[in-house]
Chain A
Amino acid sequence: MQSPTLLALPIVIPLLAGALSLIYWRSRKAQRIIGVLGSTGLLIASGFLLEKIWREGTLVMHMGNWHAPFGIVLVGDMLAAFMVVMTGVSAVTTAFYALGSVSKQHEHFGFYPLMHLLLAGVNGAFLTGDVFNLYVWFEVMLVASFALLILGGERAQMEGAIKYVTLNLVSSAMFLSAIGLLYGLMGTLNMADIAMKIGELEDTAMITVVSMLFLMAFGIKAAAFPLFFWLPASYHTPRVAVSALFAGLLTKVGVYALFRFFTLIFPFEGTLSQSLMVWIAGLTMVTGVLGAAAQFEFRRILSFHIVSQIGYMLMGLALFTPLALAGGIYFIAHNIVAKSGLFLISGLVFRFKGSYELKELGGVYRQYPMLALLFLICAFSLAGLPPLSGFFAKFMVIRAGVEEYAWWLVATALAVGFMTLYSMVKIWAEVFWKEQEVCHIKPPRKFRGGTRVMYATVVMLAGLTIFMGLAMEPLFRMSMMAAEQLLDRNGYIEAVLGVTP
């Protein structure tokens, strides 16, 4: 297959699957089959894409054969391919888990078309090489996520959705304003073209203003320190399959955009924004984990942990060495796996016990030892115990911090690791270990089948986090390659524009 076609497939497949499941709106069975086939196809295509980029380097596709900087380009470098593969993993687990967990009513409201649309938006954001196009893909993703969030229309969902929608619209408006100012400055919106020309600009004050606007916009989307309050208010309200998809993917798109912009367009090296990012990373870790420590609801604890884990990824970006960036990238992949796994486990616990409140739960270990084991694997991975993927992710980031003598950041990261372990132990003790005291809670209804397929997806994710720990060597090389490509701005510009800057 021609390389550019392969580059478009991760966007085309979910769009096509979404359109097909719209056509088969009335047939529940057809939608399920399309959901599984579409997401599996996406994973396979992204695997091929990763392999191709691994061998041949950055791929570029000029849409409609209009060459950059005039046409729109899709650019696949190692980071983008890595993220697309993780989207594929997330898509497959969600599609299979949904087979067992999403009710008839939700499927009737269009769960599957929205899921595919969300995936198309996410992949588009990863692969595009044009700033305005990034905005468009962000919006595609957001609209799908809005609708998924309120699927079911419960009171909590409405309340969460208002905050989520408002904050995301504010962030989009900021993003748009920043694009406008950037276009006014540069006269171009192609990322490589901007990267090439931005060094020649004399008005550095204006560049700082624009970069801060981008930082704010992506910071809201990534749920970084002062801007994260919408996340714990909304992420625990929808169905678990949706929560897991959100937890795995949406904030990571913001983190990806930060990685892309602050290496390519506004390189960090020794600027004010780098020291700002160090603070943001540290405070994101601390506030997230402290928020989690105060919670007694399964999914809210997990939501706050998303925030604290974002801090580790931003720490990788803030340190700005190849090892740190590689650690950040590997952390994103690890987090998608471990966090989705934990959310899916919370859904299984709810199915068996009928509650998410830690106080009301208990005794799961005695009844469902297998589930308890899976929880332990994912939780230990999140807390960073060897030999699971979380250990290596944290190790890389912290090692990079030690090399840069960023002692405060390293100390924070270590302390937050312990705090994470503490709240995982809290969940373990309350949900799995202690005897259940109150027995008035009943499971929502007798579950009819589907539990096995839900188990299978969790087993897959837990297996993946073990595998990512054991197969560290190739993954490490892959993330190092991605980091080196990020730092090699000239390589990116040359690949897209075909000229040596």
Chain B
Amino acid sequence: MITLMSFLVGGLYAAAIYMIMRRSIVKLVIGLVLLSNAANLLIFTSAGMTREAPPLIPVGAMAPEGVVADPLAQALILTAIVIGFGVLAFAVVLIHRAYEIVQADDMDQMKDTDT
């Protein structure tokens, strides 16, 4: 499982970087989507791929019994997904407006503000 996940995460990063390097701004946004998902999956795997009980504490006990899955990593990606989704929504609207104003889908035609 962990091997599969590492290939998946690595593949996502590679695809994301490739897409970001393209000239089209639509592909740029697709690249950003892939990148944020790659990072989220990386956090998910960081806690270890244990298939164990949920971390519930029985009535009267002070700590969970036996081996439990780490809930914190999942809490972290929950936050990261929400933030990433919001920011991407913004990016999609931004490229739409940029396309309307610049009338081009090409990064090479957006060099007016560069040095």
Interface residues of A, Cβ cutoff 8 Å to B: 132, 135-136, 139, 142-143, 146-147, 150, 153-156, 158-163, 165-166, 169-170, 172-174, 176-177, 179-181, 183-184, 189, 229, 232-234, 236-237, 291, 294-295, 300
| Closest CB in chain B relative to A135 CB, distance in Å | 8
Interface centre among B28, B86, B94 (most CB of A within 10 A): B94
Q: Which range contains the number of B residues in contact with the other chain?
A: 35 or more
Q: Does chain A have a CB within 8 A of B102?
A: yes
Kindly state the separation between the CA atoms of A180 and B112 in the bound complex, as whole angstroms.
37
Residues of chain A within 8 A of B44, CB atoms compared: 180
14 pairs, A vs B, C-beta closer than 8 Å: A132-B76, A139-B83, A139-B87, A159-B98, A159-B111, A162-B98, A163-B113, A169-B87, A170-B32, A176-B39, A177-B38, A183-B72, A232-B115, A237-B113
Given contacts A142-B87, A162-B25, contact A233 B46 (CB under 8 A): no
Cα–Cα distance between A218 and B43 once the two chains are bound (Å) = 19
Number of A-B contacts (CB under 8 A): 117
On whether the beta carbons of A294 and B115 are closer than 8 Å, the reply is yes
CB distance from A169 to the nearest CB of B (A): 5
**What 6 pairs across the A-B complex have the smallest Cβ distances?**
A184-B46, A180-B43, A158-B98, A176-B39, A180-B46, A159-B110
Contacts of B28 in A (CB 8 A): 162, 166
In the assembled complex, the Cα of A170 lies from the Cα of B102 at a distance in Å of 23
Return the contact of B32 from the options A155, A166, A184 (Cβ within 8 A).
A166
Cβ B39 vs Cβ A173 within 8 A: yes
Query: Are A169 and B94 in contact (CB-based, < 8 A)?
Result: no
Chain B 34-45 near chain A by CB (<8 Å), digits 1 or 0: 011011101111
Question: Once the chains are docked, how many angstroms separate the CA of A177 from the CA of B43?
Answer: 7
| Residues of B close to A154: CB separation below 8 A | 101
Chain B residue nearest in CB terms to A174: B39
Contact B101 A158 (CB under 8 A): yes
Q: Which of B56-70 contact A (CB under 8 A)?
A: none
Question: Which positions 73-115 of chain B face chain A at CB distance < 8 Å?
Answer: 73, 76, 79-80, 83, 86-87, 90-91, 94-95, 97-98, 101-102, 107, 110-115
Interface of A, helix, strand, loop or mixed by DSSP: helix
Contact status A155-B79, CB under 8 Å: no
> Whole-angstrom distance between the alpha carbons of A152 and B83 in the complex?
25
CB contacts (< 8 Å) of B102 on chain A: these are: 155, 158-159
Q: How far is the CA of A346 from the CA of B12 in the complex (A)?
A: 44
Question: Which of A163, A165, A173: most chain B CB closer than 10 A?
Answer: A173
The closest CB in chain A to the CB of B76 belongs to A132
C-alpha gap A177/B84 in the complex (Å): 13
Q: Residues of A contacting B40 with CB < 8 Å?
A: 176
B113 adjacent to A150 (CB under 8 Å): no
With beta carbons under 8 angstroms apart, the residue of A146, A177, A181 that contacts B90 is: A146
Residue contact A153 to B94, C-beta cutoff 8 Å: no
Q: Please indicate the chain B residues that have their CB under 8 angstroms from the CB of A176 in the complex.
A: 36, 39-40, 42-43, 80
* Cβ contact within 8 Å between A177 and B42: yes
Bound Cα distance A189, B90 (Å)? 28
Least Cβ–Cβ distance between A174 and chain B, in angstroms: 8
Interchain nearest-CB distance for A125 vs B (Å): 14
Contacts of A139 in B (CB 8 A): 83, 87
CA gap between A139 and B87 in the complex, in Å: 8
Q: Given contact pairs A159-B111, A172-B87, enumerate 8 new A-B contacts (beta carbons under 8 Å).
A: A136-B79, A150-B97, A154-B101, A158-B94, A169-B36, A172-B36, A183-B76, A229-B114
Known contacts A155-B102, A180-B42: A234-B113 contact under CB 8 Å: yes
Contact string against A for B residues 7-41, beta-carbon threshold 8 Å, 1 for contact and 0 otherwise: 00000000010001000010010001001101110
The answer to whether A173 and B90 have CB atoms under 8 Å apart is: no
B5 at the interface (CB under 8 A from A): no
Cβ B76 vs Cβ A153 within 8 A: no
Residues from chain B with Cβ under 8 Å of A300 in the complex: 115
Complex Cα distance A300/B114, Å?
Answer: 10
Q: Which residues of B contact A172 (CB under 8 A)?
A: 36, 87
Distance (Å) between the CB of A43 and the closest chain B CB? 29
Contact A181 to B46, CB < 8 A, known contacts A139-B83, A143-B86, A169-B36: yes
A160 contacts across to B, CB distance below 8 A: 113
Residues in A whose Cβ lies below 8 Å from that of B53 = none
Q: Which residues of B sit under 8 angstroms from A156, Cβ to Cβ? A: 112-113
